[in-house]
Amino acid sequence: MAERKLRIAATADIHYGKHSRGVFHDALAEISRSADVLLFCGDLTDYGLAEEAEELVADIRSAVRIPMLAVLGNHDFESGESELVCKVLDGAGVNVLNGEAAEIEGVGFAGVCGFGGGFGRRMLNAWGEPLIKKFVQEAIDQAVRLEQALAKLQTDRRVAVLHYSPIRATVQGEDPEIFAFLGSTRLEEPINRFRVTAVFHGHAHNGAAEGSTATNIPVYNVSAPVLQRAGKPYRIIEL
């Protein structure tokens, strides 16, 4: 029997603030009617405050009736309330992944925030000052957590949910000076090795909407500012 196709809606960088209630409500309602699962690829809040997450949750509760998964983005860590943000989201049925895996209707999802460090031969390496080594170690740790999450999946179809990009192609359009802070090639290696079906990320507000890894795995930049240029602040992909 053929596997049932799953309609995956994804968005990122919606940056809910203290007075954002209602801003994304209609889009959430559209998603709930059109897709089977919703992915939030980080930067759900503007300053990483629990009260900002409450604004988003109010819209989620009134608009969304499908399963939801998320990863946090850099903005969600800003105020040191990331655990509270996760608790608020969990209370509305949003499963926040940080090195964990989940399965929905035969499709496996593995999620981490990711980190920077750059791409290819220009990738930052752990050499020199202790702060540089610490920065690189965080990128390595994030890639390891992604690897561990992917290893838990027993499904044929596997999706990686990230905030930072694993490839250079989807950050093209941003200023080259900040490429190193938009993603890391270290995230690409486990994606290729586990033959992931598709990757979703955000963070690159001015990047390209899609690209592919070295093994031709599709990568979708679902940052709302990028997608809004095409008309809607979310994207639906059928797997």
Each domain of the chain, given as residue ranges in start order, spans 7-238
- Res 141: pLDDT: 97
- Res 7: pLDDT: 98
Query: 211 phi and psi, to 5 degrees?
Result: -165, -160
- Res 219: pLDDT: 98
- Res 2: pLDDT: 59
Query: 37 phi and psi, to 5 degrees?
Result: -150, 150
Whether pTM exceeds 0.95: yes
Mean pLDDT by 10-residue block, N- to C-terminus, for the chain (239 residues)?
Answer: 85 97 97 98 98 98 98 98 98 97 97 97 91 96 98 97 98 96 98 98 98 98 96 96
Domain spanning 7-238, CATH class: alpha beta
